[in-house]
Amino acid sequence: MITTIALDLDNTLLNSAKEISAENERVLKQLHKMGKRIVLCTGRPIQGIQRLLTQLELFEPTDYAITFNGGLIRHNQTQRILAQTTIGKQEVAALYQDAEQRHYPIDVIGADKVYSIVTLGKSDYESSMGAVLPFADISFDELPADRAFGKAVCAAPAEVVQRVRKEMPTELTDLLHIVPSRAELLEFLPNNVNKAHGLSQLMAHFGETLDNVMTFGDEENDFEMIAQAGVGVAMGNAIPQIKQVANAETLTNNEDGVAAYLKQYFDLR
């Protein structure tokens, strides 16, 4: 039985205006009142989803959110951390060395701020993130050695991201989980962290498994949770790799694809 609905945000639950539509909101609230868990599962930091949690009223005792692509699971009501996997300055140092050699920008995301390593050149990340977190422009040497970080990113034009990923050395692919969340954003995550990993930890907390989860996604960073869920649903606008491993396909994010599939599956009006 499906007890939990896990949703990617950008280009999945959110439309092109970066909003949850009235219909998606209505259907998700209906299912939440019926006892289904609604879990936002995103690469964003927790600060970047607070308004969405508020809009969907996800503050019941069993409500959690998964951020940093599976690296952080936090209780919405109390902010208590259920599970967390991070990287440190040592991992960032290996990435920085490669970025210096191959000329691409990186930003490092901590709990309370984003560190832009401007000695590599200022990236597009701050302009795309808005005011969700404060940004600090620093050199690599100034990056705190005693802090844990959720992830690092390379925010750049799609052709740059594609080149950086294609030529990534084995030492880094062995050290980090490297995956794009969109064409212009490459994410560097703790090794073995992905959205399915985070969901497995959350479901174990409830004495359940991924068989009890329905997932919605569109991009490569959704791959594991779409492939491993009891029901994995690809958006109509999803990349081919996601559609290939999904159990089902729905309409696009601009056509209320989440609501359309949920109404059909749960026989809602």
Range list for CATH 3.40.50.1000 in the chain: 4-84+193-266
CB atoms inside a 10 Å sphere around CB 191: 13
Which CATH code, of 3.40.50.1110, 3.40.109.10, 3.40.50.1000, 3.40.50.1100, is assigned to 4-84+193-266?
A: 3.40.50.1000
Report the distance separating Cα 242 and Cα 145, nearest Å.
Answer: 37
Count CA within 13 A, CB hemisphere, residue 123: 31
Cβ 96 vs Cβ 138: under 8 Å? no
Cβ 84 vs Cβ 67: under 8 Å? no
pLDDT band at 133 (very low <50, low <70, confident <90, very high): confident
Q: What is the pLDDT of residues 185-224, one digit of tens each?
A: 999 999 999 999 999 999 999 999 999 999 999 999 999 9
pLDDT score recorded for residue 269: 85
Tell me what the mean pLDDT of segment 232-238 comes to: 98
Percent of the chain with pLDDT over 70: 99
Report the distance separating Cα 263 and Cα 115, nearest Å.
Answer: 42
User: β-strand 107-109 against 64-67: which pairing, if any?
Assistant: unpaired
Range list for CATH 3.30.1240.10 in the chain: 89-190
Tell me what the mean pLDDT of segment 6-30 comes to: 97
Q: What is the pLDDT of residues 75-100, one digit of tens each?
A: 999 999 999 999 999 999 999 999 99
Say whether domain 89-190 belongs to CATH 3.30.1240.10. yes
Report the distance separating Cα 232 and Cα 248, nearest Å.
Answer: 7
Q: 44 vs 260, which has greater pLDDT?
A: 260
> What rounded mean pLDDT belongs to the chain?
95
- For residue 131, pLDDT beyond 70: no
Q: Tell me, what amino acid is at 17? A: A
CB atoms inside a 10 Å sphere around CB 205: 14
In the block, residue with structure tokens 């999803």: 238
